[in-house]
Amino acid sequence: MVRAAMVLLACLALAAARAGAAEPPGSDESAVRRLNDDYVRAFLACDVDRFRGMLAQDFVGVLADGRVIDKAGFLAEAAKPPDARDLRLHDVVIRVYGDAALIGAAASYRRADGSGVRTRYTAVCVRRDGRWEIAWVQWTRVTAP
């Protein structure tokens, strides 16, 4: 379940990075998109050290089944390869509100066993000491189209 959630965040980051090409290089929205792009690189490389630097110290993740994980729990999962194939993102939205930003998307993918997964994802990013970090993520399983 945690791996599925991490896959979703990676997909969100890829879509956000692609959508951000028209943003001014120094804008807050561009910075949040770059943070997500970094997330994708860390996700694909299972780069726990990079995740450690991009997640807020008080990071919280809420899984689709309602369980809550902290930064340490997320980092433990980040070291494991993802179980996702043919990942697709839909309805990606990024909104910046001063020193906070919201990211949301719908995602669909297949597990290695061929089963399909659909979820919605929301992330909260905060700017602290001049840099953006991921403070909160929440995944919601979607059961119907």
Q: Kindly report, residue by residue over 82-124, the tens digit of the pLDDT.
A: 887 777 778 878 899 999 999 887 888 889 999 999 989 899 9
Tell how many helices (H) and how many strands (E) occur in the chain. Answer: 4, 6
- Contact in structure between 84 and 4 (CB atoms under 8 Å): yes
Q: Residue 74: helix, strand or coil by DSSP?
A: helix
**Residue 5 half-sphere exposure toward CB, CA atoms < 13 A:** 25
- Contact in structure between 134 and 35 (CB atoms under 8 Å): yes
Total-model pTM: 0.78
Confidence grade of residue 40 (pLDDT, cut at 50, 70, 90): low
- Spell out the domains of the chain, with CATH numbers in brackets: 2-141 (3.10.450.50)
